[in-house]
Amino acid sequence: MDAEPEYQGPVVTVDSVLFQLIQNELYVLLTQRAYEPFLGEWALPGGYNHRGETTHEALAGVLGRKAGIEYRALPLTMQLYTFDNVARDPRGHTISVTYMSLAHKAVPAGSDTTQNPQFFPVSKLPKLAYDHKDIILYALQRLRSRISHTNAIFALMPEKFTLTQLQTAYEAVLGHKLDKRNFRKRWLALDVLAPTDELAKDGAHRPAALYRFKQRKLQTLDPTFA
């Protein structure tokens, strides 16, 4: 980091992998490219990081402008990886700093943007621009790992939820079923859930107790969930 007046660096971009559960399935937010390259193809929301703004600010701008989503309302965002695209990007040397966000209900405002933001199930992704498919799969891996030893799942859940909803969220992310009794035993032993005195009455069956997370922020939980 010497003094070096005529510095010229790569173009810096940020890309966002925004996950959300819709009907017990994991969805990811994509936008349709309005410019070359990859005009018309689906891609992760992304954009330039200009001098003077943090990557988080750039991310907030991208999500707001391209998908109508308010970044500050997202309960959890974490950095994933920084990719070099020296050769791959048709526009020349860029590096992209990628973030993963989790949301409970982030509604993309397709109307006031040009990029047609939509959620796609992770299991049925369309053809994607760049290497964005790999990025999504990498993000999924990281997400699975995160929910296995932290409370990160809170960011995919509503304020109040039943234990069955929580279990279903895990199953959607992990891609396999879990044992009901073991799951409940574990979570109730963890001391991170608080019972509310409300019940969810949603059908012709016994009502379920509603719980909430004591802390809606990331914390590490020792045990691991399969």
Does residue 191 touch a copy of itself according to CB under 8 A? no
Q: Compute the chain's Rg from CA coordinates.
A: 20
Does residue 2 touch a copy of itself according to CB under 8 A? yes
C-alpha dihedral, 127 to 130 to 133 to 137, nearest 10° = 180
Does residue 181 touch a copy of itself according to CB under 8 A? no
Distance in Å, CB of 164 to DNA, minimum? 3
Would you tell me how many other CB atoms lie within 10 Å of the CB of residue 24? 10
First to last CA, the chain: 45
Closest CA to 18 of 56, 61, 65, 71: 71
Distance in Å, CB of 78 to DNA, minimum? 24
The conformational region for residue 191 under phi > 0 = left, psi -120 to 50 = alpha, else beta, is left
CA dist., res. 139 & res. 119, Å (int): 16
Q: Collapsing DSSP states into helix, strand and coil, what is residue 198?
A: strand
**For a copy of itself, which residue of 95, 178, 208, 218 counts as binding (CB under 8 A)?**
95
Which C-beta is closer to DNA: that of 87 or that of 204? Answer: 204
Which C-beta is closer to a copy of itself: that of 10 or that of 75? Answer: 10
**For a copy of itself, which residue of 3, 112, 191, 204 counts as binding (CB under 8 A)?**
3
Does residue 87 touch DNA according to CB under 7 A? no
CA dist., res. 29 & res. 118, Å (int): 6
In a 13 Å sphere around the CA of 133, the CA atoms on its Cβ side amount to 9
Residue 162 binding partner per list DNA, a copy of itself, none, with a CB distance cut-off of 5 to 8 Å that depends on partner kind? DNA
Total of residues contacting DNA (CB under 7 A): 20
Which C-beta is closer to DNA: that of 72 or that of 181? Answer: 181
Does residue 148 touch DNA according to CB under 7 A? no
Residues in contact with a copy of itself by CB under 8 A are 1-4, 7-13, 34-36, 46-56, 79, 81-82, 84, 86, 91-93, 95, 97
Residues in contact with DNA by CB under 7 A are 162-164, 179-182, 184-185, 201, 203-209, 223-224, 226
